Amino acid sequence: MIGERIKQARKAAGLSLRALADRAGVTAMAISKYEAGKSTPSSRVLLDLSKALGVRTEYFFRPVKIELQEIKHRKHSQLPKKALEQIEGDVKEQLERFIELEELLPNGPVQAFRLPENLPAPIADLDQIEAVARQLRESWDLGVDPIPLMTDMLEERGIKVFQSQAINDRFDGMAATVDGIPVIVVGRGWPGDRQRFTLAHELGHLVLHGRLADGIEEEAAANRFAGAFLAPADEVRKELGEKRTWLEPQELAVLKKAYGLSMQGWMHRAKDLGIMPENHYVAMRKYFNSRGWNKTEPGEQYPKEEPQLFDQLVYRALAQDLISESKAAELLRMPLSEFQKKRNMPSARPAPH
């Protein structure tokens, strides 16, 4: 078991056998034997490995082992296999901690993930996806207003959301399942509007899986779902009107702030819904590209999404004496002293007179 844990942590850290060996002060051959179960590291070596891998020693003895199923990536073709292994290893480690915690709290606040029973199938064209997104919003009692926090909304409905620092510009996100539980992963350092679109896109994969007619490309369908879920068609028409030949950048910036959908996302919605003709959409794209806005949009970044559920459950388990401070620190991946400081919550400074 320890060997499998070492291997998983090494992949999650993006380290080769040689790199880990150099950090831990052992040979690459020794690491290879540990991972293959042919040798067992001593207590001292385990401590060195934990420091090299950025995990606590308890990690190596964690009994939970999970496997990702039905994995769907949004990745570029040049993404190295090693980078993909690092992302999946990081996600597995986060999932293991979450599942271990949930076993202590069988009556937690999370409901089981469910989709409406009467979603249409097969979906013969992309325009039908507008109705699917609207139906899901209705089923989840979301109305038509902007969704303030996508991560919170998804977690409340049984989807586990994780962020990974390993995800970069060559990897746009991942959806998978673990024992039937849906999982979505996005980049930790991304702007909030990119995180939100990826969350909605991966939700689209979960919703549309097995419902698309032959000839409908799933990535394009998930993109259409993401736009429709974040900015419902009727609301887009209210905001933009029925026919437009141009959208002012400042207008798009206001809508981005209100809905958490990028300026380019709003341009795409206008095209998808027939509000803006294709040639005018292309002209706007060229305008954005000429100013570099296709890579970095002007104005303030939309606030990042921050998963909160796991931290909340850790403190709940601690409050109910289900775990110790040391276990809480391990689950949160931080030194005990740092956890104790965070738990004590320093008092707010008095307002100046």
pLDDT of residue 336: 92
Q: Give the residue, 179 or 325, on which the prediction is more confident.
A: 325
Q: Give the residue, 284 or 9, on which the prediction is more confident.
A: 284
pLDDT of residue 242: 97
**Lowest-pLDDT range of 7-11, 41-45, 149-153, 337-341:** 7-11
Question: Domain residues of the chain, as ranges?
Answer: 1-61, 309-344
Residue with tokens 């709290």: 105
Average pLDDT over residues 294-308: 93
pLDDT of residue 72: 67
What is the band of 79 on the pLDDT scale with cuts at 50, 70, 90? Answer: low
In CATH, the number for domain 1-61 is: 1.10.260.40
Q: pLDDT averaged over the chain?
A: 88
How is residue 7 written in tokens? 């291997």
Average pLDDT over residues 26-55: 89
What is the band of 332 on the pLDDT scale with cuts at 50, 70, 90? Answer: very high
Average pLDDT over residues 259-271: 98
DSSP string, 4-66: HHHHHHHHHTT--HHHHHHHHTS-HHHHHHHHHTSS---HHHHHHHHHHHT--GGGGG-----
pLDDT of residue 224: 98
Contacting residues for 63 by C-beta, under 8 A, at least 6 apart: 1
What is the band of 333 on the pLDDT scale with cuts at 50, 70, 90? Answer: confident
Residue 353 has pLDDT above 70, yes or no: no
Rg (CA), the chain: 23
pLDDT of residue 192: 95
pLDDT of residue 164: 81
Write out pLDDT tens, residues 176-231.
887 778 989 888 888 999 999 999 999 999 999 899 999 999 999 999 999 999 99
> Per the omega criterion (within 30 degrees of 0), is the bond before 122 cis?
yes
pTM beyond cutoff 0.75: yes
